[in-house]
Structure 1
Amino acid sequence: MTVKTILVVDDSPTDRHIITSILTRNGYQVGEAGSGEEGVAKTREMEPDLVLMDIVMPGMNGYQATRLLLRGDTTRHIPIILCTTKDQQTDKIWGLRQGAWDYITKPVVTAELLQKIARLD
């Protein structure tokens, strides 16, 4: 699978901007969503090759959105990388148990993010 389109789901406009800038500079087409609910809806609409999902968001959190997407007929095949400030090992284990393919902590290190995406290709 070649990753070309990525949806960034994060309630922080600053974090969305930083991550989107990194991705667009590296040739990816990027969509954005500002909440878990919007992320689920946009994933269904766009069917991106990858979703970068924050965890801590008001309303539907990233764990809930990940579970919902992985249960959907049209979205279950889309890999999700959790991208969050939650840096405890238990957070990572829980995120991977929810079905996420990988986990990255903020602040995002460009090389680490691109390496994780490249592993999906």
Structure 2
Amino acid sequence: MARILIVDDSPTEMYKLTEMLEKNGHTVLKAENGANGVALAVQEKPDAVLMDIVMPGVNGFQATRQLSKNPETSHIPIIIVTTKDQETDKVWGKRQGASDYLVKPVEEDALIKVLDGVLKG
């Protein structure tokens, strides 16, 4: 299946998302903050990225913008996965280059459906 990079500073969320993805046959790469997530995406070229927003240092909006503006990673779909559920956050996330936006807690069915959608292009 696909190689998915999870960028999230919460060990609990990382665990939950990893379980869902691996159960559905995906390989998981992990980064605990935005800066490491950007570096790992450039290095590994995953098939998709699940990006948290609220993280220390480089936040998810900044990391999404960096990846979507970089010619090496601009083709990688980014799904924002966050607790921020305001419409302005969703609009801003899309403007930074995100392909989709999910609000935590994420249901497995919803995650896999959105992921399948962005992987198919």
Q: Do these two structures clear the TM 0.5 threshold for a shared fold by scoring above it? A: yes
Residue 33 of structure 1 is matched in structure 2 by 31
User: Unaligned regions of 5+ residues in structure 2, if any?
Assistant: none
Q: In the TM superposition, what are the counterparts of 1:55-94 in structure 2 within 5 Å?
A: 55-94=53-92
Q: Structure 2 CA distance, aligned partners of 1:116 and 1:60? A: 25
Structure 1 letter corresponding to 2:51? M
Q: Structure 2 CA distance, aligned partners of 1:35 and 1:118? A: 24
Structure 2 letter corresponding to 1:42? L
Q: Structure 2 CA distance, aligned partners of 1:35 and 1:112? A: 24
Tell me the secondary structure at the aligned position of residue 81 of structure 1: strand
* Identity in percent: 52
* Cα deviations by residue, 1:11-69 (Å, 9 ceiling, x for unpaired): 00110110011000000011000000000011011100000000000000000001111
Q: Structure 1 CA distance, aligned partners of 2:89 and 2:73? A: 23
TM-score normalised over the length of structure 1: 0.96
Tell me the secondary structure at the aligned position of residue 5 of structure 2: strand
User: Unaligned regions of 5+ residues in structure 1, if any?
Assistant: none
Q: Structure 2 CA distance, aligned partners of 1:21 and 1:57? A: 21
Tell me the secondary structure at the aligned position of residue 87 of structure 1: coil
